[in-house]
Structure 1
Amino acid sequence: MMSSPAKKVQSPVPEAKSPTVQSPKGKTKSPTPGPASPTPGPASPTPGPASPTPGPASPTPGPASPTPGPASPTPGPASPTPGPASPVAAHDGAPTDLLSGAHWGELEIPDDEDSTLGSDAESSRASISSSILQYRTISGRRYHSDSVTDGEYWGPNDEKAMEVMDIFHHAMTLILNDRLYTAPLSKDIKNAIDIGTGTVFALMTNSSAYSDFADEFPTCNVVGTDISAIQPDWVPPNLQFDIDDASKTWTYPDNHFDYVHIRWLCCTMKDWASLYKEAYRCTKPGGWIEHFDGGVHMVCLDGTMPKDSAIGQWGHIWTEVERKTGVIANMLDGCMENGIKEAGFTNVQTEDFLAPTAPWPTDERQKQIGLFQYISLTSDVEGFLTYFLGQVMGWTENEMAKYASVLRREYKEGKIHANIKWRVVRAQKPVDA
C-alpha cells in the first residue's frame, strides 16, 4: 500500500539567464491567470479541458479569428445566462487594493498601433497561426447550453475560445517539458478520463507536434467530458467524448479509471472537495489523479509590476469575483493538494512552475513559453472578462473595454515581467482501498 506522507517535488522551472525567470524558492504567494480555460459560456463549473480549462479559464476559459491577432477591445456579448441573482460571498470584507471599473472607464487610451511594441511577438503570431490555427473559422461569441448544467461558467465556447484553449494547451505542454502528463502511468492502463476536456484531448489526438495520449495508450479507453459539444467529429477508436457536468455525481462506476486528469478549471467550481471525492470513488485502487492549475495573482520578481497596473490588478479582480460568487479562483491556496488528500488519495506530490506572460526572458525556452502565454492571454481578453465583470462585478462595456485595452498593451510592451504560477498535484488511490 502506498501511504507515504505527501511530499513536495522541487519545482522544475529551468534556471534562466535572467533572474526574473527563476522560480522562487519557498512559499511564494500563489499567482494565477484569470480563468484560463476559455471555452464554455456562462454556466457549468466544468469547462471543457481545461481544462482552461483555464479559469482567470476556464478553464475551457474565454475565447474568432483563425489568426490570434490582438482581440478587439470591444467586449464580447454578455453570457446568455444571467449572472447569479444573489451571489454567495466566499469571504468577508471587500478588497482594499482593487480599482473600480470606473477607474478604467475614465482612462484615455492611446493609439495601440505603435509598430515598435512587441514586434517579435507579433511576427511570431503569423507562424503559429499558420501551423496550428489554420483550420479555425470566424464566428460570433457563443456559450454552452443551459440544458447541460444549471451552473454558471464564465467563458464562451465558440471558435475564438477554442483557439485560445489550443494555444494554452501548447504553452502548458511546454511548461511541463513537452509532457502531456506527469503521473507514473503504466503502459497497460485500461481506462482514463479527462475532466473538462474542451479541445485539449482533441488536440492531443490530432497534433503532430506532441505525443498523443490515445495513441500512446492504444489499449486504453480514453474519455473526455465537457459541458459543451465542441470536440471534433473524428477521433481515434479508443477516444470518446461525454457531455457531462463534473460538479454533479459522476455517472461512472466505482473503481473504474486508472487515471483521472484535470487541467485549468479555476473559477468553475465552488465545491472541489466533492469533485475529488467522486474522482476517488471512480478511480481504481492504485490508480492516479493529476490536477494542473494555477493562481490568479501574477508573480513579479524584479519590481516591474506596479500595483495599479492592469496586470497588477488581475489577481485582485478575480479575488473579488471569488468573494462575491463563491467559485474558487485561486487554486494555489492548498485547494488542490488538501482536497485530494482529504478525498482519500495518498502519495500526494506537488510540482510548481513559474511561466512568463510575455516573451521578455533571455532564456530561449522561457521566451517560447512566454510567447504562447502572451498570445493566449491577449487574443481574447474580453472572453475572460465579459461574464464575471459584467454580470457579477457590474462593470460597463466601456469600462471592460478600457481595462482590456490597457491589459493587452501592457502584455505587448513586455515592460512588466509578470509570471503565472502553475501547480501540478498528483496522487494515488491506495492499492488496498
Structure 2
Amino acid sequence: MHTPSNPHSGQSLASSVTRYRYENGRRYHAFREGSYYAPNDDAYARYETVVHHLWLLTLEDKLFLAPVENPQMVLDVGTGTGLWAIDMADSFPSAEIIATDLSPTQATTAPPNVRFEVDDARSEWTHPENSFDLVHVRGLTGCIRDWPEFYRETYKHLKPGGWFEHLEFSCDTNADPNSTAYADKMYSAFSAAVFSVGEEKTGMTFQTIKHMKEYMEGAGFVDIVEKRFIWPIGPWPSDPHLKEMGRWGERNWIDGFESWVMALYTRFLGWTYAEVQAFVADMKSVVRDRKNQYYQSVRCVYGRKPFPHEIPHPPSSSSSTHTISQT
C-alpha cells in the first residue's frame, strides 16, 4: 500500500492521486493504494448514479433526515462521484460543501459552493475542529478500519449542535444460509465470503450496519435516531413504492456486483479473473429471476453533538460515593 511520507500534506497529490492502478480490466485509486475495494472508472461512476437514485427513493427525495434546517458548513466523506454533494450545493446555495474521497472526483460541472478534496478520512482530519453543521457519510462499509475512532473524529469536527448522519446497506440478504435452494446458496456464499474478506483479510468489517447506533452512542452523540429500511432486489413487493425501489435494487446488483467482488476475490481469496466473471454471471441470473423475493437491510442513523452545557461532568473527588447492591 502506498503511504505518503507526510499523511497531512498535499505534496503527494501530483504523483499518487493522478496515477491509477489498472487491474482485471478495471481502474482503481492510487492514493493509499489498495485501501478501498471498489474501482473508480467510468463504469463505476455510472453505477453510482443508480445508487444515488436508490438512496433518494429510500429517503423519499430527501438528501438527509437529520433535523438540520440551514446548514452553512457541510462535509461529505467518501463522496465518490459527488452527486450528493452537488445536490446539497444546489439545495443550499449559501452553504459551503466540502466533499472528500480517495480518488479525484470526476464531476465535470458543479456549483461554485462545493469543493472536492482528495483525502483519506482514516487519517487524522485536517479540517478545523468545531467546523461543520452536518457531516454526511453514505456507503463506506468495508472502507474504515476503526469505526469508533472515525466517529470520534466526526464528533470533534462538528460544531456544538451539529449533526452526523451515517447511512449504510447490508452486504447480506434475507437468504436462508441453511437452505439448499440455488438462490439462497448464491446470496449466502457472497455474504459469507465478503464477511470473511472484511474481517480476516483487510481488517475492515463489512457489517458496519449492525453497529452504527452504538458507535454514535460511544462517541458522545445525543438525540440519536435510527431509521430502518429495506432494498428489495427485484420488483416483487406489492407496495408501489417498494416495487419501484425493487426495480432499482435489482439494477443496483446487476450494475454493481462485479465492482463489489472483483478486487476482493482476486486479491484476498485467490480467485482468478475467469472464476470471478463466472460467479458474477451466475449471480446476475439469480438477481434477474423474478420468482425470488430477496432484500437487503438499510439503516440511517443520525445524532447531534451536544452543547457544552449538556455534557455531564464527572463528580468531583470530594463527592461521596455510595454503592447500591441489587438483589
TM-score bin (small chain): 0.7 to 0.9
Which portions of structure 1, spanning 4 or more consecutive aligned residues, are displaced by more than 6 angstroms? Answer: none
- Structure having the higher strand fraction is 2
Higher relative contact order (CA 8 A, sep 6+): 1
Structure 2 counterpart of 1:221: 96
Is 1:274 the equivalent of 2:156? Answer: no
Give, in whole Å, the separation in 1 of the partners of 2:238 and 2:175.
16
Give distance in 2, aligned partners of 1:173 and 1:380.
17
In the alignment, structure 1 residue 371 sits paired with structure 2 residue 247: yes
Deviation at 1:305, TM superposition (A): 6.2
3-state SS, counterpart of residue 299 of structure 1: coil
| Distance in 1 separating the partners of 2:194 and 2:214 | 21
Write the letter of the residue equivalent to 1:202: L
Q: In the alignment, does 2:38 pair up with 1:158? A: no
Whether 1:298 aligns to 2:173 is: yes
TM-score normalised per structure 1: 0.63
AA matched with 1:78: E
The alpha carbon displacement at 1:231 in A equals 2.9
TM-score when scaled to structure 2?
Answer: 0.82
Paired residues, number: 289
Partner of 2:6: none
8 Å CA contact 1:225, 1:241 repeated in 2: yes
CA pair 344-305 structure 1, distance change in 2 beyond 3 A: farther
The SS at the match of 1:219 is coil
Q: Secondary structure at the match of 1:157?
A: coil
SS in 2 for 1:309: helix
Match for 1:144 among 29, 34, 38? 29
CA 1:167–1:342 in 2, change beyond 3 Å: closer, same or farther?
A: same
- Picking from 242, 257, 268, the partner of 1:381 is 257
- Offset from partner CA, 1:40-62 (integer Å, 9 cap, x none): xx989xxxxxxxxxxxxxxxxxx
2:219 to 325, 330, 343: 343
Distance in 1 separating the partners of 2:186 and 2:94: 48
SS at match of 2:197: helix
Deviation by residue 1:178-233 (Cα, 9 ceiling, x = unmatched): 2110000022x22001000011x33663xxxxxx3212222111111001113324
For 1:18-29, list aligned pairs within 5 A: none
Counterpart in the other structure of 1:283: 158
Report the Cα distance in structure 1 between the residues aligned to 2:225 and 2:66, rounded to whole angstroms: 10
Q: Which amino acid aligns with 1:184?
A: P
What corresponds to 2:197 in structure 1? 321
Matched residue type, 2:128: P
1:285 deviation in Å?
Answer: 0.2
Q: Which amino acid aligns with 1:367?
A: K
How far apart, CA to CA, are the structure 2 residues paired with 1:182 and 1:231?
A: 27
- Residue 273 (structure 1) shift: 1.1
Deviations, residues 338-392 of structure 1 (Å, cap 9, x unaligned): 1122112111111110110112222221111111121121124222111111110
Quote the RMSD (CA, aligned, Å): 2.3
Structure 2: runs of 5 or more not aligned: 4-21, 312-327
Instruction: Report how far residue 404 of structure 1 moved.
Output: 0.8
Instruction: Pick closer, same or farther for the CA change 1:43–1:355 going to 2, 3 Å.
Output: farther
Structure 2 equivalent of residue 421 of structure 1:
297
Match of 2:237 in 1: 361
1:252 maps onto 2:127 in alignment: yes
CA contact under 8 A between 2:52 and 2:83: conserved in structure 1? no
Identical-pair percentage: 30
Where 1:421 maps in the other structure, the secondary structure is strand
Separation in structure 2 between the aligned mates of residue 247 and residue 193 of structure 1, nearest angstrom: 15
Shift of 1:397: 2.2
Q: Give the stretch that moved more between structures: 189-198 or 342-351.
A: 342-351
Structure 2 counterpart of 1:193: 75
Unaligned runs of 5+ residues in structure 1 are: 1-41, 45-76, 80-139, 206-211
Between the aligned partners of 2:47 and 2:124, the Cα distance in structure 1 is: 29
Letter of the aligned partner of 2:74 in structure 1?
A
